Amino acid sequence: MTEAPLLLDAYDVAKSFGAVVALRSASLRVRAGEVHALMGANGAGKSTLVKMLTGALPPDAGVISIAGRPRRFRSPAEARAAGLVSVYQDPALVPDLTITQNLRLTGANAGVVRKWLGEFGFGGLDFSDFVRDLPLPSLRLIDLARALAAEPDILLLDEITAALPADLAERVFAVARQWRALGHSVIFISHRLAEVSALCDRATVLRDGVTVGVVSPAAGGEEQIVSLMLGTEPGRAADMVPHGHTYRNRAPGKPPALEVVALRCGAMLRDVTFRVQPGEVLGVAALEGQGQQELFDCLAGLRRPDAGTISAEGKALRLRHPADAIREGIVLVPADRLHALLHQRSVRENIALPLVRGLRHWGLLPMRAETARVDKAVRRLQIDTRAAAEVRRLSGGNQQKVVIARWVAAGFKTLLCFDPTRGIDIGTKRQIYTLIRELAAGGASILLFTSELPEIPLTCDRAIVLFGGQVVDELPAAEADEARLLRAAHGLVPRGTVSV
Amino acid sequence: MPLLLIGALAITVAIHPDFGAFDLQSLGLGALPLALAAAAQAVVVLSGGVDLSIGSLMAVANVLSARSMQHASFGESLVLAALVILGGAVAGALNGAILVLSRVPDVVVTLANGFIWGGVALLILEQPGGGAPEDFLNLATGTLFTPWLPNAFVLLVVAVVAVWLPVRSTRLGLTLYAVGSDRTAAFRSGIDVERTRFFAYVVGGMFSAIGGLALTMTTGIGSPLSGTYYTLSALAAVVIGGVSLAGGRGGMVGPVIAACVLTLIPTDLIFLNIDPNYGQVIQGTLIVLVVMGGGLALLLKRQP
């Protein structure tokens, strides 16, 4: 049996951004006439690799060959000319122009584009509409139709089914299969393992900037993919020991500290229901873009939900502004601490910030009381304040501690932590985990979203998994091993697990 | 936009029933430089940038032409005018090149260049002076067709159309709007964003130079500090004229008409015997009202 020719051969590709190594040695080989998935967890280097394939970034090392010829793309236009056309998550359409004008920009044939749109059932779209007036699914499909009209040898689909309803997703798959039948190839990027199994011939898995394997998803390949994404480093086992506490509801009669019912917001958060008891740490596990950002934004008062209710201690809440949430004792520790801090101000000022709202009169701040509370918080969190007159000079870990210290000083009931240990060294991470356990022991309730799944059994009492904007799994910490969380996060859930 | 102009004209006529051909002529002369400056600013703003060197460039074009045309014949003055316009394009190219290559924000680059051109203008002509042949001045100040259609308006339309129409109807116009609307999407669509922005500043430079020539025609002399008023007023005209400061939205007609409206305001104040210094206050209020009105309309449209 002759093998189909290699359309794309990316070999030993590396890329670093300063000190951060995004890709160490990645490779991707796509044959003609196949649908090839590219998979990897957050931070594995997937999006960096895609940017290099599509000409948005040059590689530091490695060779990318198209149809046997090594190429170096300096712009998306060059990649396009070589036969590799991409459809991004954000449609490459200019909002203030009409569809017709957008098509003119890339020299796309409007008639052919309309024909492809017909395959999706959108043939009747009015091309004189402005792009800014159209909903996201339509834009995705226009982008896809335009890509197909360019007759690419390799079509790259980046999370195309996110924010697409199921029936449209099915049509996209049908078209992808059509494209394959014509002898071309499709690179399919998705978190949804079920889709990958249904559609793709092979899958390349990236982890920590390296290609760790190429698998056939059908015939049980799913498990292989999951274990490849997890990795089997022996050191990890020690990290996986759960904290050993079991949550005991000390006030069984009282209403939950935080209760969310049927919450819906934007395109990503569809229907989420859960509750957090006082003194409990509830973990949220999810891949990128599954609705967790919207969930936390709604809880923190940054966004208004489209439907559903949020209640604290039995009282339904209307959060229109972060100040509303803070008043109810719901406070946020965001992933990017520089969003929460005043960069150029001192540690003291940052910690004291919410205390200002306690002022009754214009005029002098009650300095003595402020100092005492701030000192207490600094000591408790062991923040190294020597270095800083400005918080931006602190290390990331210490900055995060300042954020938490601020809420400790101001007092709170529920702490929302959105990926608090992202990009923080291991020592400070441990300190933050310990702190979270202590705060919970003191009666606070904590909702913790983390992109690092091993953290969940370490810090949490219970965990829910978000996928496609819904809670697909709920489990006690003792059962929350990485494999189960990862499978649920990819949408692979055994029936009958969701109870909430 | 046209409604605003008609409204402003109506108010003017109501205040001063003697408004006749002569007043229309004054309006034309007063509005011409501002309208051209507004055109320059509009092109740049549409592409997503801003140009703070317009006034200074106008001053340079003004003093350069006044000094060189002083003893020239009509034919020579036309040639010189063409050279000045070319010079404006080069100046704009300088703005664009520095901006694109150094990645310094356009506010900084154009402001710095503005200072440089301001100094150059003073070097060329220290005191107001110079002149130009009568026929050249007549291009703006005369009335070739009928007393009710001052040359100034004809010249305005010709200048804007001659420069803008070739841009608008070609791919450059489309890429200009695209880059102003969403730079990332434009880049991903394969547009050379840097080249587009560069050309936006070149076209802006040309309009600025024509504006400077208009100053020569309307005032008859060159004055090194003549441009200071125009940079920010052009920005005001652009905003009132419906061009989004974020880029990508609007056209050329709006800012030009807005320039005429802005010119009418001090005139009306004089007719009303109000202290013309209130002119700036009214200009500012007009900007706020127009922008707020636009924003309100958008908000109402979004809420179904």
Spell out which residues of chain A touch residue B190, defining contact as CB-CB under 8 Å: 75-77, 80, 105-106
Give the residue among A450, A458, A385, A442 at the shortest CA–CA distance from A408.
A442
A116 in the same domain as A19: yes
Task: Cite the beta strand spans of A194-267 per DSSP E.
Answer: 202-207, 210-215, 258-265
Confidence category of residue B61, pLDDT binned at 50, 70, 90: very high
Q: Which is higher by pLDDT, A351 or B125? A: B125
Are B185 and A96 within 8 A, CB to CB?
Answer: no
Domain ranges in chain B are 2-302
Alpha carbon of residue B102 to chain centroid: 26
Give the residue among A192, A197, A184, A135 at the shortest CA–CA distance from A161.
A192
Where helices occur in A83-220 by DSSP H, the ranges are: 99-106, 110-119, 136-149, 166-181, 193-199
- Contact of B186 with chain A, judged by CB distance below 8 Å, is answered with yes
Whether residue A152 contacts residue A85, with contact meaning beta carbons closer than 8 Å, is answered with yes
Angle of helix B193-219 relative to helix B151-168, nearest 10 degrees?
Answer: 170
Structure tokens that stand for A260 in this block: 């969310």
A377 in the same domain as A293: yes
Between CA A58 and CA A64, with CA A59 as vertex, the angle to 5 degrees is 100
Cα(B52)–Cα(B115) distance, integer angstroms? 9
Are A105 and B175 within 8 A, CB to CB?
Answer: yes
Maximal C-alpha separation, chain A? 85
Element holding A400 (H helix, E strand): helix A396-410
Is A326 a member of any domain? yes
Q: Which residues contact A345 (CB under 8 A, 6 or more apart)?
A: A390, A391
Give the residue among B92, B90, B129 at the shortest CA–CA distance from B216.
B129
Residue-wise pLDDT for B277-287, tens only, equals 777 788 788 77
What is the average per-residue pLDDT within B166-171?
Answer: 89
Spell out which residues of chain A touch residue B175, defining contact as CB-CB under 8 Å: 105
Residue-wise pLDDT for B104-115, tens only, equals 999 999 999 999
Residue A57: phi and psi, rounded to 5, are: -140, 145
- A22-36, A177-191, B14-28, B168-182 — which is least confidently predicted? B14-28
Spell out which residues of chain B touch residue A104, defining contact as CB-CB under 8 Å: 171, 174
Q: Searching chain B, which residue's CA lies closest to the CA of residue A90?
A: B185
Spell out which residues of chain A touch residue B176, defining contact as CB-CB under 8 Å: none
Whether residue A218 contacts residue A197, with contact meaning beta carbons closer than 8 Å, is answered with yes
Are A80 and B181 within 8 A, CB to CB?
Answer: no
Q: Which residues contact B96 (CB under 8 A, 6 or more apart)?
A: B197, B198, B199, B200, B201, B202
Residue A233's pLDDT is 46
Are B190 and A90 within 8 A, CB to CB?
Answer: no
CA contacts within 13 A on the Cβ side of A133: 12
- Sign of the alpha-carbon torsion through B184, A451, A384, A446: positive
Residue pairs between chains A and B whose CB atoms are closer than 8 Å: 60
Cα(A30)–Cα(A205) distance, integer angstroms? 13
- Contact of B269 with chain A, judged by CB distance below 8 Å, is answered with no
Are A92 and B185 within 8 A, CB to CB?
Answer: yes
Residue A279, helix vs strand vs coil: coil
A301 in the same domain as A178: no
Element holding A27 (H helix, E strand): strand A20-31
Q: Which residues of A have a CB under 8 Å from any CB of B?
A: 56, 75-77, 80, 88, 90-97, 101-102, 104-106
Segment A13-17 long-range contacts (CB within 8 Å, at least 24 positions apart): A13/A49, A13/A52, A13/A59, A13/A61, A13/A62, A13/A63, A13/A64, A14/A59, A14/A60, A14/A61, A14/A62, A14/A209, A15/A45, A15/A48, A15/A52, A15/A57, A15/A59, A15/A60, A16/A60
CA-to-CA separations, A245 to A241, A275, B197, in angstroms, rounded = 11, 19, 61
User: Could you report the predicted ipTM of this complex, rounded to two decimals?
Assistant: 0.72
Is A249 a member of any domain? no
pLDDT along chain A (500 residues), means of 10: 78 83 89 90 78 85 88 84 86 90 87 89 87 86 91 90 78 91 91 83 88 81 77 46 60 82 89 92 88 92 91 90 88 82 78 66 62 78 67 76 85 90 74 87 90 83 92 89 85 61
Residue of A76, A90, A95 with shortest CB distance to B190: A76
Between CA A117 and CA A123, with CA A118 as vertex, the angle to 5 degrees is 80
Number of CB atoms found within 10 A of residue A363's CB: 7
Spell out which residues of chain B touch residue A105, defining contact as CB-CB under 8 Å: 174-175, 178, 186, 189-191
Tell which CATH classification among 3.30.40, 3.30.160, 3.30.1490, 1.10.3470 matches the domain B2-302: 1.10.3470
Residue A500's pLDDT is 43
Residue B161's pLDDT is 94
Q: Which residues contact B189 (CB under 8 A, 6 or more apart)?
A: A76, A92, A93, A94, A102, A105, A106, B178
Question: Which residue, of A236, A271, A293, is where some domain finishes?
Answer: A236
Residue-wise pLDDT for B66-112, tens only, equals 999 888 888 888 999 999 999 999 999 999 999 999 999 999 999 99
**What's the number of domains chain A is made of?**
2
Residue A106's pLDDT is 82
Residue B45, helix vs strand vs coil: helix
Chain A interface test: which of B168, B171, B189 (most A C-beta within 10 Å): B189
Structure tokens that stand for A159 in this block: 């999370």
Residue B133's pLDDT is 87
In the DSSP assignment, the letter for residue A207 is E
A429 in the same domain as A297: yes
Whether residue A210 contacts residue A26, with contact meaning beta carbons closer than 8 Å, is answered with yes
Give the structural domain span for A470.
256-354+367-489
A217 in the same domain as A102: yes
| Mean pLDDT score of chain B | 87
Strands A445-450 and A414-418: parallel
Number of CB atoms found within 10 A of residue B113's CB: 23
- Contact of B211 with chain A, judged by CB distance below 8 Å, is answered with no
Residue B23, helix vs strand vs coil: helix
Give the CATH number of the domain where residue A99 resides.
Answer: 3.40.50.300
A143 in the same domain as A18: yes
